[in-house]
């Protein structure tokens, strides 16, 4: 039988390891979020459309970012088309997954920030 002190130590180590793994996953997610690609830009644009935050400024910012990301990644027309389609499909899947009640949270958490992001690009406050 293992003394209580050792059981406590084992449980503590497990909790610490779990916390470190969770922090590492969160940090990796933030790094990936900082690196925008064509698929993410199209996904964000589609979310603005689903959420009703699509305005001429949002569309202008999207077009500017779309062009910049395409050039920056050195994509040919076919590769860019595939990434754009993937963004639309991901947004559509998420829309279907959320259901009617989940849309409000989705629009608040992703739609509004995406609209603000594209507007900032359109007015020159943010670089694509």
Query: Is residue 24 exposed (0-12), middle (13-18) or buried (19+ Cβ within 10 Å)?
Result: exposed
Residue 128 is assigned to a structural domain of this protein = no
Give the H or E element holding residue 27. Answer: helix 4-34
Question: Are 21 and 49 found together in one domain?
Answer: no
pLDDT of the residue at 82: 97
Give the H or E element holding residue 124. Answer: none
Residue 3 is assigned to a structural domain of this protein = yes
Give the H or E element holding residue 45. Answer: helix 38-51
pLDDT of the residue at 100: 63
pLDDT of the residue at 97: 87
pLDDT of the residue at 28: 44
Give the structural domain span for 22. Answer: 1-35
Within the chain, which residues score under 50 in pLDDT? Answer: 13, 15, 17-22, 24-33
Give the dihedral sign, CA 64/70/71/72.
positive
Question: Are 22 and 48 found together in one domain?
Answer: no
pLDDT of the residue at 104: 84
Question: Are 42 and 30 found together in one domain?
Answer: no
Question: Are 64 and 17 found together in one domain?
Answer: no
Q: Domain tally for the chain?
A: 2
Question: Are 31 and 45 found together in one domain?
Answer: no
The answer to whether the beta carbons of residues 44 and 118 sit under 8 Å apart is yes
Question: Are 89 and 41 found together in one domain?
Answer: yes
- Whether this prediction's pTM lies above 0.95 is answered by no
Separation between Cα atoms, residue 1 and residue 7, nearest integer Å: 10
Question: Are 57 and 5 found together in one domain?
Answer: no
Question: Are 24 and 79 found together in one domain?
Answer: no
Residue 43 is assigned to a structural domain of this protein = yes
pLDDT of the residue at 27: 45
């Amino acid at each position: 039988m293992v003394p209580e002190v050792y059981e406590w130590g084992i449980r503590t180590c497990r909790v610490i390891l779990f916390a470190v793994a969770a922090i590492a996953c969160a940090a990796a997610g933030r790094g990936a979020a900082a690196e925008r690609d064509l698929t993410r830009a199209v996904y964000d644009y589609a979310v603005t459309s689903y959420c009703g935050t699509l305005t001429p400024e949002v569309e202008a910012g999207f077009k500017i970012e779309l062009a910049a990301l395409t050039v920056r990644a050195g994509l040919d027309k076919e590769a860019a088309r595939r990434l754009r389609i993937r963004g639309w499909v991901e947004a559509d899947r998420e829309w279907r997954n959320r259901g009617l009640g989940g849309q409000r949270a989705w629009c608040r958490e992703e739609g509004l920030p995406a609209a603000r992001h594209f507007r900032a690009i359109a007015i020159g406050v943010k670089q694509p």
